[in-house]
């Protein structure tokens, strides 16, 4: 009962159990191999879709489950407990669904959402550029209106699963400097001029590829403009608010597995005639790990609850993101320490958990930016 889900309904617990079984049966046997080789298996996303787990917060009218973020974080946590990469892939593929559902017109919703929600198609989100990361509104990719289409030119960086995505929501500049000059577009795989650049060689999460995206005179139909010109940053920031909740849930999953492995080891490993768990230096460390996990989980659940109930959630999402991902980094680092020399080898998964946790402090807005967002809310 160390990791019970006290505040979940029976239905939410059933969804969690379904995701947990899939992760353990389908992903666990291949995760170490695929992380080592950088192999992404789109068929696993399709299988998750067949179970109804890739369109959790998407309306039933467009092929989704019609549920909320409280169910969504349960799925993400269970996937992340086995593979942060696949948890991130599902979460990133969910972003276009959520964006289209909120800002798309009826034709756009019907065309794209059902295939994304079913897992048949994979989605991506393209905001960052070589010169614009935290300062996203300074992006330089351009979109120039020419008759019945826009012509896009520029470079995007750090785009998760861009190489396998069928649909990509991309931000480009249609007007002057600053956020009001940014618009949002729907790009499809195979559009002439849309090319993949380098694939990043990352510390961890090797399964979900992080790509450079090159746009060379890409013609995008005018009907693929999302909302109106100049509304792109509003769309992007809205998506990131929700994304911070799923990244927080990813941190929960990674941390939970690290605690499980470290606790198991501490019970079995004996030194000076007794299990190392009996030594306060180890036992208290594990106690703090478990306590911080549960504190983070309550923060993530609160942010999800607020979003589901139409209440302001931007600050709680930022707080959850900071706390849960910092917690995941500390917990995984401590798990390596509990295992000692063994923890530093690839014989045990805690070194992978530690590498996976690090990126969570960076993506969806660095934790430094989250603290800036939170501190601004304190102004009187």
Active-site annotation holds for 200: no
How confident is the model over 258-280, as a mean pLDDT? 97
Q: Residues 212, 306: one domain? A: no
Q: Residues 251, 368: one domain? A: yes
Cα distances (angstroms) measured from residue 339 to each of 132, 261, 265, 278, 314 = 39, 9, 7, 14, 37
What local confidence, expressed as pLDDT, does residue 132 receive? Answer: 86
Please check whether residue 38 lies inside any domain of the structure: yes
Query: Which of 186, 215, 230 delimits the end of a domain?
Result: 230
Please check whether residue 273 lies inside any domain of the structure: yes
pLDDT tens digits along 206-254: 999 999 999 999 999 999 999 999 999 999 999 999 999 999 999 999 9
Strand ranges, E, within 222-269 = 225-226
Query: Which of 211, 230, 249 delimits the end of a domain?
Result: 230
Q: Residues 363, 257: one domain? A: yes
How confident is the model over 277-290, as a mean pLDDT? 97
Please check whether residue 285 lies inside any domain of the structure: yes
Query: Which of 123, 158, 190 delimits the end of a domain?
Result: 123
pLDDT tens digits along 109-139: 999 999 999 999 999 999 999 988 788 889 9
Please check whether residue 67 lies inside any domain of the structure: yes
Rounded CA-CA distance 94/160 in Å is 12
How confident is the model over 143-163, as a mean pLDDT? 97
Model confidence at 331, pLDDT cuts 50, 70, 90, reads: very high
Sign of the CA dihedral with 161 first, then 244, 8, and 349 last: positive
Q: Is the pLDDT of residue 265 over 80?
A: yes
Structure tokens at 209: 């590829």
How confident is the model over 346-350, as a mean pLDDT? 96
Q: Residues 201, 284: one domain? A: no
How confident is the model over 62-74, as a mean pLDDT? 97
Rounded CA-CA distance 117/119 in Å is 6
What local confidence, expressed as pLDDT, does residue 301 receive? Answer: 96
Q: Is the pLDDT of residue 335 over 80?
A: yes
CATH value at residue 183 = 2.40.110.10
Q: Residues 50, 148: one domain? A: no
Of the candidates 71, 129, 212, 364, the residue annotated as catalytic is 364
CATH value at residue 354 = 1.20.140.10
160 phi, psi to nearest 5 deg: -65, 130
Q: Residues 347, 370: one domain? A: yes
pLDDT tens digits along 169-204: 999 999 999 999 999 999 999 999 999 999 999 999
Q: Is the pLDDT of residue 316 over 90?
A: yes
pLDDT tens digits along 6-30: 688 999 999 999 999 999 999 999 9
Q: Residues 140, 175: one domain? A: yes
What is the chain's mean pLDDT, rounded? Answer: 96
Q: Residues 93, 76: one domain? A: yes
Please check whether residue 328 lies inside any domain of the structure: yes
Please check whether residue 96 lies inside any domain of the structure: yes
Q: The pTM is what?
A: 0.96
Q: Residues 83, 164: one domain? A: no
The answer to whether the beta carbons of residues 304 and 68 sit under 8 Å apart is yes
Strand ranges, E, within the chain = 123-126, 142-146, 149-160, 167-173, 182-188, 194-199, 210-221, 225-226, 270-271, 274-275
Please check whether residue 318 lies inside any domain of the structure: yes
Q: Residues 174, 207: one domain? A: yes
Q: Is the pLDDT of residue 101 over 80?
A: yes
Q: What share of the chain is helix, strand, coil (3-state, %, to 5)?
A: 55, 15, 30
Domain count within the chain: 3
Q: Residues 216, 336: one domain? A: no
Model confidence at 3, pLDDT cuts 50, 70, 90, reads: confident
Cα distances (angstroms) measured from residue 240 to each of 306, 321, 368, 374 = 15, 11, 15, 15
Rounded CA-CA distance 248/20 in Å is 18
Please check whether residue 261 lies inside any domain of the structure: yes
Query: Which structural domain, as residue segments, surrounds residue 152?
Result: 124-230
How confident is the model over 304-322, as a mean pLDDT? 97
Model confidence at 360, pLDDT cuts 50, 70, 90, reads: very high
Name the DSSP letter for residue 106: H
Structure tokens at 239: 């998506």
Q: Is the pLDDT of residue 1 over 70?
A: no
Buried b / exposed e over 11-48, threshold 16 CB at 10 Å, is ebeebbebbbebbeebbeeebeebbeeeebbeebbebb
């Amino acid at each position: 009962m160390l990791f019970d889900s006290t505040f979940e309904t029976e239905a939410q617990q059933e969804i969690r159990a379904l995701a947990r079984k899939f992760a353990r049966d389908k992903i666990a046997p291949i995760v170490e191999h695929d992380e080592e080789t950088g192999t992404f298996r789109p068929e696993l996303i399709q299988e998750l879709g067949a179970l109804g787990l890739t369109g959790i917060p998407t309306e039933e009218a467009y092929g989704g489950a019609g549920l909320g973020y409280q169910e969504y974080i349960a799925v993400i946590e269970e996937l992340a407990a086995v593979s942060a990469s696949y948890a991130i892939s599902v979460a990133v593929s969910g972003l276009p669904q959520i964006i289209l559902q909120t800002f798309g017109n009826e034709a756009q919703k019907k065309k794209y959402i059902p295939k994304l929600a079913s897992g048949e198609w994979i989605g991506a989100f393209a905001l960052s550029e070589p010169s614009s990361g935290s300062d996203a509104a300074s992006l330089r990719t351009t979109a120039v209106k020419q008759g019945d289409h826009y012509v896009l030119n520029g470079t995007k960086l750090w785009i998760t699963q861009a190489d396998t995505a069928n649909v990509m929501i991309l931000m480009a500049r249609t007007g002057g400097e600053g956020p009001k000059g940014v618009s949002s577009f729907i790009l499809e795989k195979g559009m002439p001029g849309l090319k993949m650049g380098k694939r990043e060689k990352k510390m961890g999460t090797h399964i979900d590829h992080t790509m450079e995206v090159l746009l060379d005179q890409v013609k995008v139909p005018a009907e693929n403009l999302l909302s109106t010109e100049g509304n792109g940053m509003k769309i992007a920031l809205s998506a990131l608010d929700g994304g911070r909740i799923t990244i927080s849930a990813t941190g929960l999953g990674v941390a939970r597995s690290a605690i499980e492995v470290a606790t198991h080891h501490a019970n079995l490993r004996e030194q000076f005639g007794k299990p190392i768990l009996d030594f306060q230096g180890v036992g208290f460390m594990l106690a703090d790990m478990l306590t911080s996990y549960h504190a983070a989980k309550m923060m993530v659940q609160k942010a999800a609850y607020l979003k589901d109930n139409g209440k302001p959630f931007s600050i709680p999402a930022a707080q959850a993101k900071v706390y849960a991902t910092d917690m995941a980094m500390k917990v995984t680092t401590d798990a390596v320490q509990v295992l000692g020399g063994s923890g530093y080898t690839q014989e045990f998964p805690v070194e992978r958990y530690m590498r996976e946790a690090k990126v969570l402090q960076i993506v969806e807005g660095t934790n430094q930016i989250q603290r800036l967002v939170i501190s601004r809310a304190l102004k009187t």
